[in-house]
């Protein structure tokens, strides 16, 4: 298969990048290399490139090469979870550095910054990045990293990635976009960010059966080298089997994300006209405040949506209790549809309204999902 991935389309890259027919056996599906250690040459060198699995492993290398090709990056580093990836990025900064993060960032990311890394003297301002002037206002001389997330969690706020990346670039600040909710359909590196971040636990894995995280670098620069060092020195690395599963998930990622998006658009349209629904948050809806920006930077609007039930927390809990096809569970990006009362999982300090339900729209038939919600909302 050609190694010039720019010559082929994303579906083709997804199937072939990071993958070779096994030269030893001809196996078409990649073998899983469980070995923790690799043979040295007689001269004491490692000509085949692998020494010890915390440092590198054939399955991890395949995953990193594959995802990097898919995102058109220079390099990627895979970790045991999305949060381990975020840890590595923040740990690559220094005490006294300042971070700007989106106010509606993933709850775990916010907690990492406002709790754990505060003790390590990393200062963070959380701003609503859908307001560009708010971003400019909190820039400081010691600002080192800017963390976007779009669509955000769970309110599906839209950040103008190109505009915020430009503000960061002008100020000499590293920009990262958490693209977990919109792989394939949104390409942050092309929009100008320095890094794209994914919790591969979600759409990349795609079947709710593997945890992982990955960061893709536009340039293999000093900062990325620090992240790489933290990866193999810190050791929060994914297992070979986890890497294999995520890379397998990538093969169907473009098709799945398209189907998730088509289903979610139908469910959002249905919910938007329902008398017992107060409000629907889906960037594909014309009524969504971020719709125009979303249209500019996304080719489809993704599989995630939230809605508020009329009647507050109690009504929302009742809807979630009544669904039969939607499973009440956290997380997202799997083939099965999930529904979640977000405020009660996030606990004190949540930005989620009490009447809000977050849905990860799966790959079931959209009419079955709509009929399930119809019963639950009746
Ligand atoms: C799940 C998620 C994370 C965290 O990833 P884990 O794999 O659970 O550690 C980060 N950002 C977003 C947007 C997520 O949905």
Q: Mind telling me the catalytic residues?
A: 54, 106, 178, 202
CB 328 within 8 A of CB 334: no
256 φ, ψ to 5°? -65, -45
Q: Where are the alpha helices (DSSP H) in the chain?
A: 10-16, 58-71, 82-91, 107-111, 132-138, 161-170, 188-191, 222-234, 240-272, 291-297, 312-322, 342-346, 366-377
CA 211 – ligand 1 centroid, Å: 9
- Beta-carbon contacts of residue 72 (< 8 Å; ≥ 6 apart): 5, 6, 187, 189, 190
Q: Which residue among 90, 108, 152, 215 has the greatest number of ligand 1 atoms within 8 angstroms of its CB, and so is best to mutate?
A: 108
Q: What is the DSSP letter of 53?
A: T
Among protein residues, the one whose CA lies closest to atom 5 of ligand 1 = 82
Structural domain boundaries of the chain?
A: 5-251, 253-377
CA 207 – ligand 1 centroid, Å: 15
Distance between CA atoms of residues 331 and 338, nearest Å: 8
CB 90 within 8 A of CB 119: no
Residue 144: C-alpha distances to residues 38, 99, 160, 166, 248 (Å): 38, 6, 20, 14, 35
What CATH architecture applies to the domain 5-251?
A: 3-Layer(aba) Sandwich (3.40)
- Judged by DSSP in three states, 301 sits in coil
- The answer, yes or no, to whether any atom of ligand 1 lies below 6 A from the CB of 81, is yes
Walk along the chain (378 residues) and give the pLDDT tens digit of each residue: 557 888 999 999 999 999 999 999 999 999 999 999 999 999 999 999 999 999 999 999 999 999 999 999 999 999 999 999 999 999 999 999 999 999 989 999 999 999 999 999 999 999 999 999 999 999 999 999 999 999 998 899 999 999 999 999 999 999 999 999 999 999 999 999 999 999 999 999 999 999 999 999 999 999 999 999 999 999 999 999 999 999 999 999 999 999 999 999 999 999 999 999 999 999 999 999 999 999 999 999 999 999 999 999 999 999 999 999 999 999 999 999 999 999 998 888 787 899 999 999 999 999 999 999 999 999
Predicted local confidence at residue 1, as pLDDT: 54
Among protein residues, the one whose CA lies closest to atom 7 of ligand 1 = 82
- The answer, yes or no, to whether any atom of ligand 1 lies below 6 A from the CB of 82, is yes
CA 269 – ligand 1 centroid, Å: 27
- The answer, yes or no, to whether any atom of ligand 1 lies below 6 A from the CB of 201, is yes
CB 214 within 8 A of CB 200: yes
- The answer, yes or no, to whether any atom of ligand 1 lies below 6 A from the CB of 337, is no
- The answer, yes or no, to whether any atom of ligand 1 lies below 6 A from the CB of 179, is no
Among protein residues, the one whose CA lies closest to atom 11 of ligand 1 = 106
Residue 321 tokens, joined: 């209790």
CA 106 – ligand 1 centroid, Å: 7
Residue 212 CA, closest ligand 1 atom number = 7
CB 153 within 8 A of CB 105: yes
Residue 10 tokens, joined: 């994303």
Q: Kindly indicate whether the domain formed by 253-377 is annotated with CATH number 3.40.640.10.
A: no
Predicted local confidence at residue 2, as pLDDT: 52
CB 337 within 8 A of CB 362: yes
CB 344 within 8 A of CB 154: no
* Count of Cβ atoms closer than 10 Å to residue 285 Cβ: 19
**DSSP structure string for 107-163:** HHHHHIIIIITTTTT-EEEEE-TTSHHHHHHH--TTEEEEEEESS-TTT-----HHH
- The answer, yes or no, to whether any atom of ligand 1 lies below 6 A from the CB of 197, is no
Predicted local confidence at residue 76, as pLDDT: 98
Instruction: Name the pairing type of β-strands 195-199 and 213-217.
Output: antiparallel
The continuous run of DSSP H or E covering 307 comes out as strand 304-309
CA 45 – ligand 1 centroid, Å: 38
pLDDT per position as a tens digit, 100-126? 999 989 999 999 999 999 999 999 999
- Judged by DSSP in three states, 15 sits in helix
Among protein residues, the one whose CA lies closest to atom 1 of ligand 1 = 199
Residue 83 CA, closest ligand 1 atom number = 9
- The answer, yes or no, to whether any atom of ligand 1 lies below 6 A from the CB of 178, is yes
Diameter over CA atoms, the chain:
75
First to last CA, the chain: 53
Its pTM surpasses 0.95: yes
Predicted local confidence at residue 166, as pLDDT: 98
Q: Is 357 left (phi over 0), alpha (psi -120 to 50) or beta?
A: beta
**DSSP structure string for 55-108:** T--HHHHHHHHHHHHHHT-SEEEEESSHHHHHHHHHHTS-TT-EEEEETTS-HH
- The answer, yes or no, to whether any atom of ligand 1 lies below 6 A from the CB of 334, is no
- The answer, yes or no, to whether any atom of ligand 1 lies below 6 A from the CB of 200, is no
CA 199 – ligand 1 centroid, Å: 5
CB 122 within 8 A of CB 109: no
Distance between CA atoms of residues 113 and 69, nearest Å: 30
């Amino acid at each position: 298969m050609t190694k010039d991935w720019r010559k082929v389309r994303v579906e083709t890259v997804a199937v072939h990048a990071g993958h070779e027919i096994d030269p030893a056996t001809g196996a078409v599906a990649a073998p899983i290399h469980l070995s923790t250690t690799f043979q040295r040459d007689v001269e004491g060198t490692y000509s085949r490139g692998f020494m010890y699995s915390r440092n590198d492993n054939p399955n991890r290398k395949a995953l990193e090469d594959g995802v990097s090709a898919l995102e058109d990056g220079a390099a990627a580093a895979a970790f045991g979870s999305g949060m381990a990836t975020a840890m590595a990025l923040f740990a690559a900064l220094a005490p006294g550095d300042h971070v700007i993060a989106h106010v509606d960032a993933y709850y775990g990311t916010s907690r990492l910054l406002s709790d754990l890394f505060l003790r390590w003297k990393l200062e963070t301002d959380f701003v609503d990045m859908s307001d560009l002037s708010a971003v400019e206002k909190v820039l400081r001389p010691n600002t080192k990293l800017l963390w976007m997330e779009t669509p955000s969690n769970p309110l599906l706020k839209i950040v103008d990635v190109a505009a915020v990346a430009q503000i960061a670039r002008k100020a000499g600040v590293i920009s990262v976009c958490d693209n977990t909710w919109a792989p394939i359909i949104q390409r942050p590196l092309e929009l100008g960010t320095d890094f794209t971040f994914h919790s591969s636990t979600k759409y990349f894995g795609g079947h709710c059966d593997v945890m992982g995280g990955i960061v893709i670098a536009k340039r293999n620069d000093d900062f990325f080298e620090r992240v790489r060092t933290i990866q193999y020195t810190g050791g929060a690395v994914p297992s070979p089997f986890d890497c294999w599963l995520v890379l397998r998930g990538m093969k169907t990622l473009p098709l799945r994300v398209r189907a998730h998006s088509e289903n979610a658009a139908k469910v959002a349209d249905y919910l938007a006209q329902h008398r017992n629904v107060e409000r629907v948050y889906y960037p594909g809806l014309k009524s969504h405040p971020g719709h125009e920006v979303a249209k500019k930077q996304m080719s489809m609007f993704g599989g995630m949506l939230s809605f508020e039930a009329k009647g507050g927390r109690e009504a929302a809990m009742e809807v979630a209790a009544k669904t039969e096809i939607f499973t009440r569970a956290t997380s997202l990006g799997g083939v099965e549809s999930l529904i979640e009362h977000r405020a009660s999982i996030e606990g004190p300090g949540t930005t989620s309204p009490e009447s809000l339900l977050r849905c990860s729209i799966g790959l079931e038939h959209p009419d079955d999902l709509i009929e399930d919600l119809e019963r639950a909302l009746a």
